[in-house]
Structure 1
Amino acid sequence: MADSFTRGESSHQGRPEPLRSSQSPEIASTTTQVVLVMDGLKEFTIKPLKWVLENISASGGINVTLLGAMPWLNIPLSAKTWQGIWAVGFEELAMAKEQGDEWRSDSKYVKLQAILDLCKRFGANVPQKEVVMGYPLKLILVEKLKSLNASWVVFDRHQRRDMEFIADKFPCNMVMINENDEPVIIKMQPLTSGEFTSGGSPASFLPSPL
């Protein structure tokens, strides 16, 4: 595996609100670190990454990390999981291409290529791809986000149970992409001092209720 691997649960009781695309902010800063937290046991979908590239920008560009989160696995589950994109890196895709077109019939390589194509379309850097595994996973995620110096965290819908805990422990902008592929505000920090949540956001960020 060419990608990094790091060893390493709270329910969200509130009613987070969807973020309209017209409200998506542009960040006036240097390179912005965006971490996309995904359930490493679920089938990978490119839609959250597409939202990130369409809606988060910075004067110095953005660096995206795809972070697959999963608990400790028994051997059967481990074998199944590591057949997905979290098991291989972009270097392996390049090597597979050198062997001919067989890679096109392998779903993990097809998905990696879709990531590359999407990044090229938006002129974005190729994302880093890492895995965190362990228990309690929510604590490990907090530590990983700190180490990545994340300015933005975007969760897939499977991370709902841990979002409140992580939001309390780590100060940054947080959004979830829900089951309807809509962005939902978890927490936002203004470009001035302080921070705000979906319950107290300024008018420019006011979302529609679920």
Structure 2
Amino acid sequence: MGFGSSGESVIVVMDADRNRGKVDALNWALNNVVRPKDTVIVLGVLCDCCKKSSCFPFDIGIGVTAIWERLDFSSQGEKSLKLLEEEITKKKEEYQHTLEPYHRQCKRNEVKLEMKLVAGFSPKVVTVEEAQNNNTRWIVLDSHLKKDRFCIYSQVGCNIAVLKHNDVATIMPSLAPEGSGSSVMSEKPHKEDGNAAKEDKVPGSSPPIPSWYPLSWQPGFPREFTHAELESITNGFPNEDIIFENENLKVYQGILLKAPVFVKCFSGDHERFRAELKVYNRVRHRNILNLIGYCRMDDSMFLLSDYPCQGSLDKHLRCDELAKNLSWKIRWDIALGIGGCLRYLHEECLYGPLLHLAVTSGHIFLSRSFSALLTNFSLAKWLEDDDDAFEKTSSMEGSIKHTTLMGNERFSIDVYAYGLLLLELITGQKSFGFDTREGQNMVDWALPLLENRYLSQLMDPRLICSGDTKEVCYMGSAALLCLKNRSGPWPCMSEVVALVQGDRFTMSQW
């Protein structure tokens, strides 16, 4: 019949480990957003059966396309491999039985149905890849995958529906501009108890799509928000949207003008709120996670900021698959971005020098294009406010006592921390609190190799060396300058950044 050839695709993503044959998300998609000529791609993601990589192709049957899955059999042995194959066979038979009636129904309605089982990938990675490879109009996530919705939403140009319960879904309208190739549906979304969910909107009546600039850089921001606005942005502050929590702080994910945002809630810690708000009101740099707005109430204070969709640098370096995406060029760009940001805080900020005091890979987030953004100014100090605050020992250095506040000594905590960050970018390993196989502290192990230019022994083995390692040489020189024991003055960030840039004159001076 040739149906599906001229239509668009609707991707339905299900946690194949938990659903056990339930296809509520598929039912919702077929009843609400699928049209004749469409292709429905059902992704059954096996999240628990394996974690690493190799190739294992298979076909699920019923004339349905299958895709490769990434597995690692090298350390599992024949017994584990057999168990894995049995699990996959069982899952294929389960979906074969469950989807056969849907296959016939789709055929009658001129809809093409494809089923793809995927193992060894995170659901958000494979969903984004599948959406980018197809002319996708909708993505429908089952309720088990709602934690991935913000990351997926920020990287695709289509509508997203997240199944909740009783055939109710939360709608996240497309981020793509009109006419960009990702069409927008006009159907009215399902409602719960007669009222639309907070994110549910009729696509096409929503606010204008923002530009690719962060919200914090656009006219009208930062501004003060009402608590009612925050309720709408966070969909009611649900516990499942909390991405960080300690005694007096909770950080939520939310959506504002179709853009993902962080909402930081301070409970009873008004001094910390005021300190961070003061910093965000004064600093403005393209490598700082800038402020969108704030909200002040009697019991709680809130700060809103952009949400870099790739997550933290630490997360990428700790995960083998994600670390491979951080090429040497990208890592060098990250080093330059954060270095330039610290130079701005120390030397160029209009309101005087500011120390960050918490420069770590966990406080650096990556945008869609892997631009680095420095976050968490909860410990930051203005030198003009409190010089005595820096007469202490850095928890990261452990060995450098700040007994004087003369010259660049003031900035030694940030400079040393930046050196640790460079070491992490080069090695891919944690530079603080990490022991090598030889039982040495990471810095003690790395310094002699840096001094003798044995970079090949330091470079992250997960990356394939292209032969041109000048960026690594630049980062190594700067890391050595920041970390080596010294009796003389500390370098300033301008000098450190010049080394990262490969400035030969600066190299000769140190």
Interval of TM-score (by shorter of Structure 1 and Structure 2): 0.5 to 0.7
Structure scoring higher RCO (CA < 8 A, sep ≥ 6) equals 1
Change (3 A) 1:56 1:202: closer
User: RMSD of the TM alignment (CA)?
Assistant: 3.6
Greater shift after overlay, 108-117 or 170-179?
108-117
Decide which moves more: 131-140 or 169-178: 131-140
* TM-score normalised over the length of structure 1: 0.59
Instruction: Pick one of 134, 146, 150 that aligns with 1:160.
Output: 146
Question: 1:57 Cα deviation (Å)?
Answer: 4.5
Match of 2:86 among 71, 79, 97: 79
C-alpha displacement at 1:130, in angstroms? 0.8
What CA distance in whole angstroms lies between the structure 1 residues aligned with 2:123 and 2:105? Answer: 29
* Residue type at the aligned position of 2:103: L
- Matches of 1:81 and 1:186, distance apart in 2: 32
1:52 maps to a residue whose letter is: A
Alignment partners' CA distance in 1, 2:47 and 2:23: 22
How far apart are 1:172 and its partner, in Å?
0.6
Larger Rg: 2
Aligned mates of 1:46, 1:158 — CA distance in 2: 12
Aligned pair partner of 1:38 in 8, 11, 14: 14
| 1:112 Cα offset (Å) | 2.8
Q: Distance in 2 between matches of 1:132 and 1:37?
A: 10
Equivalent residue in structure 2 for 1:112, among 99, 105, 118: 99
Relative to structure 1, the CA distance from residue 203 to residue 176 in structure 2 (aligned partners, 3 Å threshold; closer, same or farther) is: closer
Matches for 1:9-88 after TM superposition, within 5 Å: 31-42=7-18, 43-58=20-35, 61-71=37-47, 73-74=49-50, 75=80, 76=83, 79-84=86-91, 87=92
The answer as to whether partners of 1:35 and 1:150 remain within 8 angstroms in 2 is yes
Letter aligned with residue 114 of structure 1? P
Aligned equivalent of 1:125 = 111
Q: TM-score, normalised by structure 2?
A: 0.27
Aligned with residue 179 of structure 1, among 138, 160, 165 = 165
Report the 3-state secondary structure (helix = DSSP H, G, I; strand = E; otherwise coil) of the residue aligned with 2:13: strand
1:182–1:73 CA distance, 2 compared to 1 (3 A): same
Q: Report the number of matched residues.
A: 157
Structure 2 CA distance for aligned equivalents of residues 202 and 182 of structure 1: 15
Runs of 4+ in 1 over 6 A off after TM superposition: 203-206
User: How many percent of aligned residue pairs carry the same amino acid?
Assistant: 21
**Structure with more of its chain in strand, by fraction:** 1
